[in-house]
Amino acid sequence: MSNKNPIGLFDSGVGGTSIWKEVHALLPNESTIYLADSKNAPYGQKSQDEIIALSIKNTELLLNNNCKIIIVACNTATTNAIKVLRATYDIPFIGIEPAIKPAALHTKTQKIGILATQGTLNSALFHQTVALYSDVKVVEQIGYELVQLIESGAMHSEKMTQLLKDYLLPMVVEGIDYLVLGCTHYPYLIPQIKKIIPNHIRIIDSGEAVAKQTKHILEVNNLFNTSNQVFQSFYINNPKEVMQELVGTAFKVDYMVF
Ligand code: DGL
C-alpha cells in the first residue's frame, strides 16, 4: 500500500461531498476519489441487505482504484453496512454516524432532535447509541424526500421549505435545544433550516469529526501522502450538474457507469 494512494469516499449521492469538503480542508495534500451512487439513491428506504450490497459494490470499485482507506460518507451505509465492510476488507474504514453524543452531553432541556433517513433511524447501531443516553429525550424525524429533492436539483424549492417546516417545527414545540443532522446531504440545508428554527437551537453534524478521525487513522497507520502528487476525482452515475455545483468549478465531476 503506497502512501501516495488516494482516500476513497462513497455516498448514495452528492451529500457526502459535505464530508469531502471537511476532509479536503484538513488534509489538502491527500488525493481523493469520491463515488456518488446517485442512481441508487435514496439508500435510506432500502433494506439492510440492499444497502450492504451497494456498499460492497462501491467499496470494490474504490479498492480497484487503489484507495488506501475508505470513508463511508453516508450515515445510512455506515449504520447498516460498516460492520460487514470491516469484516470483509483489510483496510481501515471510517464511518459517519449521527452526532448524538455531543448533543446528549450538552443539552440543557434534556431534549434533542434528530433528522435522518429511515435506514439510519431504524438501524441497530443507532438504537444502541440512543440507549446510552436514557435521561435524554431524542425526538426522531425521518427526512422523507429530502435526499431526492437535493439529488434532483430542487434543494431550494418551495417543496423543500414546506417539508423542512413539517419536520422541524414539531421538534421546536417539543423544546429541543440541539438538532442533529444525521444524513450527509443535510448540511447543505443548514441556511434554510436556520430560517425555520429559533437561534438558540444548535445544529450539529459529524463532518468535522470525520475529518479529524481520518487524519488520526492516516497518522497511526503511517499513511500520510508525503509526495507532491495530489488529485481530487469525483464520479457520479447520474447527470453530473448538481454535484458539479456543490463541489465548485475548481474540481471536475465525471459521469461514470457503476
Ligand atoms: N447521505 C446519505 C446519508 O448520510 C443519504 C442516504 C440516502 O440516500 O437515503 O444517510
pLDDT digits (tens, 9 = 90+) for 195-219: 999 999 999 999 999 999 999 999 9
Q: Which residue in the block uniquely carries the three cell numbers 438558540?
A: 200
My answer on whether 193 and 230 are in the same domain is no
157 located within any domain: yes
pTM value?
0.96
**Distance separating alpha carbons of residues 77 and 170, to the nearest angstrom:** 27
My answer on whether 156 and 221 are in the same domain is no
My answer on whether 178 and 223 are in the same domain is no
Cell triple for 49: 441487505
pLDDT score for 207 = 95
My answer on whether 187 and 244 are in the same domain is no
Residues 6+ apart with CB under 8 A from 178: 103, 106, 107, 112, 113, 201, 202, 203, 204
- Distance in Å, CA 243 to ligand 1 centroid: 15
User: Any catalytic annotation for residue 67?
Assistant: no
- How many residues in total does the chain contain? 258
246 contacts 14 by C-beta, under 8 angstroms: yes
Q: Which residues form the domain of 112?
A: 100-204
* pLDDT over threshold 70, residue 185: yes
Indicate the helix (H) or strand (E) that contains 35. Answer: strand 32-36
In percent, the amount of the chain with pLDDT more than 70 equals 100
pLDDT score for 138 = 98
pLDDT score for 136 = 98
193 located within any domain: yes
Provide mean pLDDT across the span 172-198: 98
The mean pLDDT of the chain is: 97
Q: Residue 219 corresponds to which amino acid?
A: E
My answer on whether 163 and 233 are in the same domain is no
My answer on whether 79 and 105 are in the same domain is no
2 located within any domain: no
Q: What is the CATH number of the domain that holds 152?
A: 3.40.50.1860
Domain boundary (188, 204, 220) is at 204
Options 7, 183, 197, 253, the catalytic residue: 183
pLDDT digits over 65-93, tens only? 999 999 999 999 999 999 999 999 999 99
103 contacts 140 by C-beta, under 8 angstroms: no
My answer on whether 172 and 109 are in the same domain is yes
229 located within any domain: yes
Residues 6+ apart with CB under 8 A from 80: 43, 48, 51, 52, 55, 119, 120, 123, 125
| Closest Cα to atom 2 of ligand 1 | 74
107 located within any domain: yes
My answer on whether 120 and 191 are in the same domain is yes
* pLDDT over threshold 90, residue 110: yes
171 located within any domain: yes
My answer on whether 193 and 105 are in the same domain is yes
My answer on whether 144 and 192 are in the same domain is yes
pLDDT score for 1 = 62
My answer on whether 221 and 234 are in the same domain is yes
In percent, the amount of the chain with pLDDT more than 90 equals 99
pLDDT score for 14 = 98
pLDDT digits over 234-252, tens only? 999 999 999 999 999 999 9
Residue 41 Cβ contacting ligand 1 at under 6 Å: yes
My answer on whether 113 and 197 are in the same domain is yes
* pLDDT over threshold 80, residue 2: no
Domain count, the chain: 2
1 located within any domain: no
